[in-house]
Amino acid sequence: MKLIPIPAFNDNYIWMLHDDRRALVVDPGDAQAVLTTLAQHGLTLAAILVTHHHGDHTGGVDVLRQSTGAQVYGPATEPMPEPLQRLTDGDVITPLELRLEVLLVPGHTAGHIAYWGQVPGSDPVLFCGDTLFSAGCGRLFEGTPAQMLTSLTRLAALPEATRVCCAHEYTLGSLRFALAVEPDNSELQAYQARALTLRQQLLPTLPSSIGLERAVNPFLRTHLPAVAHAVQQIEPKADDPVAVFAALRTWKDKF
């Protein structure tokens, strides 16, 4: 199966996975971008996966459903373009005969879900919406720091080869912040150099991998003394994992 990030708006990616005949897309905020890609590759759209309710992830769903007849899947508890199959933690779907597990990962929104699955002949794939970004994480619009930390810890426990398909090209900005937290992290420094080269060539920095994110993403590293120490220089009262995470997210919001 082939994985394609379709650029949309200023910095969104609509992820497409296809088998040269049929395709699924994730978080299609822009229907035309998807229709153009389908036509270019001669594909039929079989499924639309949605992670959360924000308009830049759902705006193209109705047009795509009406024009292709694709099955729509989305979170159980969030406002969604109807009709769709609503999903909650532990559900399994099989678009394109690909087994995808549904993970409830609240934080960015209250009912945000992610999709994870093994891809035959390739590395596993994670469609994480706006929960996890490369070297970063989503803002807490509806959830709590404790919820988001739990969600990110759950994603960090996935197999390290898992391809991380984030919904935004935020990598360079996230890396600037990550280096402020861990300036001596050599893997961060090397990743920033690679990401800069890719963006200078107008290429995506994504997908990332869970293994890489464990090494460079401060929001997955709040349990480490170096990250906690850096946060405590900003917020001395951050003396437990949730407080460290909350202070780190606040620091990033103001960065």
Active site residues: 52, 54, 56-57, 108, 130, 168
Number of Cβ within a 10 Å radius of residue 1? 15
Cβ(162)–Cβ(126) under 8 Å?
Answer: yes
The first and second tokens of residue 176, run together, are 């600037």
Cβ(45)–Cβ(70) under 8 Å?
Answer: yes
What secondary structure does DSSP assign to 165-207, as a single string?
EESB--HHHHHHHHHHH-TT-HHHHHHHHHHHHHHHTT-----
Mode of pairing for the β-strands spanning 44-49 and 22-26: parallel
Task: Reduce the DSSP state of residue 231 to 3 states and report it.
Answer: helix
Based on its alpha-carbon atoms, the radius of gyration of the chain, rounded to whole angstroms, reads: 18
Instruction: Give the integer Cα–Cα distance in Å for 165 and 197.
Output: 19
Residues 6+ apart with CB under 8 A from 116: 100, 101, 103, 124, 125, 126, 127, 158, 162
What one-character DSSP code corresponds to residue 218? G
